Amino acid sequence: MNDGNYIPDRPIAFNRDFARLGIGVTGALMLSQAVYWSKRTSNADGWFYKTQADWEEETALSRYEQETARKRLKALGILEEKRQGIPCRCFYRVNTEKLISALQTSMRESSKLDCGNPADKTDGIQQSNTENTQRLQAETTESTHANAPDLTPANPPAQQPAEQGPAQPDQPQPMRNDWEPVIDQLTASLSMAMIPEPVAHALANDQELIGQFKIHHSVSYGREHTRTGWTAQLAKWLARDWQKMGRPQTAPEYAAQRGLDPTISGCPTQELHALWSAKLGDIKPVPTLSEWQRSKSASNLAQRWHEGFTTPLNSDPNQMRYHDQETGLSWWGGLFDAIRNSTTLSKDNWINLQRLGSLDTLAQVVGQVLLEAKGVRS
């Protein structure tokens, strides 16, 4: 080798579409490298560690250029940072949702600017943007779900009416932001993958993971499924996430892996609050939803919610109170109706939503309801 003529060959990936996000070439360079490391980190939440020297070694960006790029990326919410450990170290994570949204906005603006130009001058530009966006999303998310098991039920449940506008639920259609899965099918499919029922329930109600699925497929142009078809795809996606988490077997283990409140995880607190408001709001106090969700009483009620999956019915010890969110909300709605119809419980100011999460209070309420029901039958 002639050292005098040697030219180093150490290129790094650079996505030129990032430069159209208003972050400059330096910001696009740092973001390209951040996306690269996001795919290779062992952290389930996408965090990776880099020193200033690491960034400079990999990108040749000076300290000032790094700080400028980080400031622009953080202002858009695309790059997240956190400091932890002793000594304190800086960790980074790409917010894929914000990045995809910014790219889509950039694509729309580019499309508007190109509108009306001759076809021979613009042909391929929009396609290039779309392909790059799809490629980015595939690189950052789809590779982690490619080997998920096929969880499509042999006899899938009948499709439920979709409240998504004029599109028919039994017709294949692209992913939409307002799409919602068929909960019964989703939970059943997850259970078929040998995922314990409480964990399957938590997965089926994990709005962050479901949101990532919707974001990914909303930019995967050309893919169309029926509502049940999309639900089957989501089940595979969530099963793969469960495998990546180390296959947690209980709701608290799942919550710990996700960094969630172990008592709130998987509990439809908003729906329970709405049920209480609708059925008892005119005769009992209703706490503000946001304040209540942050309170200990909401955590207590969430514990009672989870226990319902393993608590036998008094009328049939072989059956649990409920087995999914729909039957769970039905049980709690029936309890709220019973409280309203009870001459004792409806007038007892001690019985309210804040105290209902107490194990003793709930047992007292259920006992009173059963006692009054027995009196009516007799």
pLDDT band at 151 (very low <50, low <70, confident <90, very high): very low
3 state SS of 109: helix
- Assess if residue 87 is contained within a domain: yes
308 & 346 share domain: yes
- Integer CA distances (angstroms), 321 to 36, 303, 311, in order: 47, 14, 6
Residue 217 neighbours by CB under 8 Å, 6+ apart: 174, 175, 223, 230, 233
Give residue-wise pLDDT tens across range 180-224: 888 778 888 888 888 888 888 888 877 778 877 887 777 655 678
Pairing of strands 79-84, 89-94: antiparallel
- Assess if residue 6 is contained within a domain: no
177 & 250 share domain: yes
User: What's the token pair of residue 34?
Assistant: 């951040």
pTM over 0.75: no
- CB 43 within 8 Å of CB 11: no
**What local confidence, expressed as pLDDT, does residue 178 receive?**
75
- Assess if residue 63 is contained within a domain: yes
pLDDT band at 261 (very low <50, low <70, confident <90, very high): low
- CB 58 within 8 Å of CB 12: yes
Least confident of 123-127, 222-226, 232-236, 336-340: 123-127
pLDDT band at 260 (very low <50, low <70, confident <90, very high): low
- Assess if residue 1 is contained within a domain: no
Percent of the chain with pLDDT over 90: 12
**pLDDT, average across residues 74-95:** 87
What CATH number does residue 84 fall under?
1.10.10
Total count of domains within the chain: 3
The pLDDT mean for the chain works out to 77
Give residue-wise pLDDT tens across range 13-60: 677 778 888 888 888 889 988 888 887 887 878 888 888 888 888 888
- Assess if residue 343 is contained within a domain: yes
**What local confidence, expressed as pLDDT, does residue 108 receive?**
66
**What local confidence, expressed as pLDDT, does residue 340 receive?**
93
Residue 215: domain span = 146-157+169-258
94 & 201 share domain: no
